[in-house]
Structure 1
Amino acid sequence: MNTMSIDAVTVRSATSVADARENTRNFLDSLRQPPIAAEAADTVVLVVSELVTNALRHGGGTCTLNLTTHPDSIEVAVHDSSPQTPRVRTPDLTGGTGGFGWPMVNHLARTTAITHQAAGGKTVTAFLPR
C-alpha cells in the first residue's frame, strides 16, 4: 500500500492579497518531492490572488486560505463569511470594474466547487494541475 503525505498550510484572516500571494509562494517553494514547475506555481498564485481578492471584496473583509498538495494537483480553498456565490459577469472592457476573475479561475482550474458552510459563509475551492 502506497501512502503519500499531503502538505498543507492555512493562512487565517488574510487581510492582504499580497500576503496571500507571499504565503502561497512560500508554500509552493517548500514542496520538495516533486517540486512544482514555475509555470504551475505562477498559475496557483494567480488563482489565489483572484479568490482572495474576491473574498476580501465581497465576503466580509477577511478570509481563510488553505493550500493542499495532492500527488497530481494543488488544492486552493478560500473561506469567507458571505453566503453569496461567485457569479459570472460580463467583463467590463471600458470601465475597469472587473468581471474577468471567476471565468479565468474556471478556465485555469481542473475543477472548481463552492461549498456553503453550516456555520455560515462558503468555501470556494479550485484544483489546479501540479
Structure 2
Amino acid sequence: MPARANAVATARHFANVLFKRWRLSDEEQDTGALIVSELAANAAQHGLSDMTIYLTLHQDRLHIMVNDSGIPEPAQSPDSEADGDEHGRGLEIISALATSVALLRSASGWRTYVSVPLCRKSSAYG
C-alpha cells in the first residue's frame, strides 16, 4: 500500500478484520491494532513510496512485520527535537506491549518485526 498518512486507517481496518476472524480477545485486537497503526504511521512518515504489512498468528503469538522504503535519518540529540512530546514514543509503546521488537535495514528500506504474546492459543479457524 502507499506509504501515506491516509493508508494508516486502511491498515488498521484490515488488521481488525483479520484479528476478529482469528478470534483474538478484545484486548488482543486493541493491542494488535495499536501496533499496526504505530508501525504504519512510521512507514507513512518515513517511507518513500510504499509499505507492506504482514500479520501472522502462530500458536500463542501474534507476529507483525512492516516493510517500508524509507532511508535512515541522521541521529538527533533529544534536545534537538522541538516537538519531542508529540513524536517518537511509538516504538517505546510497542516495546512495552511486545515480547520482541526488531528494526532491520533491508536492501529496499526498513523492516520492523514485532511479536506479541496472546493470552491463549489462538487458531485462525476455530
Q: Normalising by the residue count of structure 2, what TM-score does the alignment of the two structures yield?
A: 0.77
Q: 1:18 and 2:9 equivalent?
A: yes
Secondary structure of the 1:46 match is helix
For residue 59 of structure 1, report the CA deviation from its aligned partner.
1.6
Note the 1:67-78 alignment, pairs <5 A.
67-78=55-66
Deviation track 1:27-56 (CA, whole Å, cap 9, x = no partner) reads: 11111xxx2111011000000000000001
Q: 1:67 to 1:97 in 2, by over 3 A?
A: same
Unaligned runs of 5+ in 2: 119-126
Q: Which structure shows the bigger proportion of residues in helix conformation? A: 2
Tell me how large the CA RMSD over aligned residues is.
2.7
Count, aligned residues: 114
Aligned equivalents of 2:17, 2:71: Cα separation in 1: 30
Aligned equivalents of 1:70, 1:111: Cα separation in 2: 15
Regions of 4+ moved over 4 Å: 87-90
User: Match of 2:109?
Assistant: 121
How many percent of aligned residue pairs carry the same amino acid? 30
Task: Single out whichever of 18-27 and 108-117 deviates more from structure 2.
Answer: 108-117
Unaligned runs of 5+ in 1: 1-11
Aligned equivalents of 1:106, 1:27: Cα separation in 2: 22
**Higher relative contact order, structure no. (Cα contacts within 8 Å, ≥ 6 residues apart):** 2
For residue 96 of structure 1, report the CA deviation from its aligned partner.
5.2
Q: 1:71 to 1:80 in 2, by over 3 A?
A: same
Note the 1:1-130 alignment, pairs <5 A.
12-13=1-2, 15=4, 16-31=7-22, 35-84=23-72, 97-118=86-107, 120-130=108-118
Aligned equivalents of 2:17, 2:67: Cα separation in 1: 20
Aligned equivalents of 1:53, 1:42: Cα separation in 2: 16
Contact 1:14 1:65 (8 Å CA) reproduced: no
Contact 2:3 2:47 (8 Å CA) reproduced: no
